[in-house]
Amino acid sequence: MGVSPTLNKISLNIQEGSFVTIIGRIGSVKSTVLLSLIGELASMTGSLRLKGKIAYMEQEPVIFPGLVRDNILFGQPYDPEFYEKVIECCCLRDDLNSFPNGDLSEIGEKGINLSGG
């Protein structure tokens, strides 16, 4: 029994600097398109060429045990100026101020728990 591809004959050209959304009904392969763009799904034929950076954020938040700061940086070096911009853009200041040690508070399995919202 052969494997039937989920996506067929897709051609996508996005101009640099564009903001793109993919919308559709439940089960309309939106996530499959996105996962193929970030290389999480194997391609049976064809090719994928990316120039620049791409980011993928799932609807469900993922929190790793450790510091709040580590969950924001995801392994990137700490740049105070950029970090503060991220905190501001994500409206996290009030949340961070409510934690006992701010962004150095431990969260997850052995730290405080976060609720959605």
pLDDT one digit per residue (tens) for the chain, 117 residues: 566 777 778 888 888 888 888 888 888 888 888 888 888 887 777 878 877 777 777 777 778 888 999 989 988 999 999 999 999 998 999 989 999 899 999 987 665 666 554
List the alpha helices (DSSP H) in 21-64. Answer: 30-37
- Do both 35 and 83 map to the same domain? no
Same-domain check for residues 80 and 50: no
pLDDT score recorded for residue 52:
77
81 and 34 belong to one structural domain: no
Q: State how many domains the chain has.
A: 2
Residue 70 is predicted with a pLDDT of: 93
Q: Is the pTM higher than 0.85?
A: no
Output the CA–CA distances (angstroms, integers) from residue 100 to 18, 41, 112, in the order listed.
Answer: 40, 41, 9
pLDDT, residue 117, reads 47
Q: Which residues pair with 112 in a beta bridge?
A: 107
Q: Clarify whether residues 70 and 24 are in a common domain.
A: no
Q: Residue 116: inside a domain, yes or no?
A: no
Looking at the structure, do residues 47 and 22 belong to the same domain, yes or no? yes
Contacts of 49 by beta carbon, 8 Å cutoff, 6+ apart = none
Which residue is it, tokens 């051609």? 11
The whole-number pLDDT of residue 79 equals 96
**Are residue 20 and residue 71 in the same domain, yes or no?**
no
What pLDDT is recorded for position 20?
Answer: 81
Judgement on whether residues 52 and 30 belong to the same structural domain of the protein:
yes
Q: Domain of 34? A: 1-58
- Considering the domain architecture, whether residues 27 and 54 belong to the same structural domain is answered as yes
